[in-house]
Amino acid sequence: MPRVAGEALVKDLAQYFRRPWSIPQKSDVLKINDISQYAAWVLLHGNAVNHFTAFVNYQNVSEWPDLASTCQGMADAGIPMKENLEGEKGSKLRQSATLAVKEELEVKGDDGIEKMPWTYAYYELAERGLVIENGEEKLFSGFLGEQARHLFDMTTTREN
């Protein structure tokens, strides 16, 4: 019985991470994109996951002890990476990311359904520095405004 319940839950969750509305009009997507790229992304992808974050602090890979070496290792392996790192070495938060994957998505055009290239998701990498909180040394758990804004731009491309 638990297996059946688990399978039902997985099916329900998978349904949640889809677009719950019909295929959008291409013209609507483009107009909305002029105002908010993320809103256009949501119109196309619905409740899908925009990105995942991995904490470099917990990876335990001796060849990649920090964000810079991790990003370089991923680039050397052929993974398309963001050009620069956000945050200074030794700061509370350093971040980077892979480039967003592009997909061909269905939209309603003037002559019916057509495909349009659009970004989907990316993989964020974060290295958190130590801070003193209530007299205790901890990894910084917040966001830094300007850096967070740049990460929201990760699904922006010249095409959209």
Q: Is the pLDDT of residue 132 over 60?
A: yes
Q: Is the pLDDT of residue 158 over 60?
A: no
Q: SS3 letters for the chain? A: CHHHHHHHHHHHHHHHCCCCCCCCEHHHHHHHHHHCHHHHHHHHHCCCCCEEEEEHHHCCCCCCCCHHHHHHHHHHCCCCECCCCECCCCCCEEEEEECCCEEEEEEEECCEEEEEEEECCEEEEEEECEEEECCEEEECCCCCHHHHHHHHHHHCCCCC
- pLDDT score for 159: 64
Residues 121 and 47 sit within 8 Å (Cβ to Cβ): no
Condensed to tens digits (0 to 9), the pLDDT of residues 65-93 reads: 999 999 999 999 999 999 889 888 888 99
> Which among 56, 37, 67 has a CA at the least distance from the CA of 155?
37
- pLDDT score for 130: 87
Q: Is the pLDDT of residue 156 over 80?
A: no
Q: Residue ranges of the domains in the chain?
A: 2-155
**Mean pLDDT, residues 1-29:** 86
Residues 67 and 85 sit within 8 Å (Cβ to Cβ): yes
Condensed to tens digits (0 to 9), the pLDDT of residues 46-63 reads: 999 888 999 999 998 999
CATH number of 2-155: 3.10.180.50
Condensed to tens digits (0 to 9), the pLDDT of residues 96-124 reads: 999 999 999 999 999 999 999 999 999 99
Condensed to tens digits (0 to 9), the pLDDT of residues 133-155 reads: 899 999 888 777 776 666 666 67
Sign of dihedral through CA atoms 117, 121, 126, 131?
Answer: positive
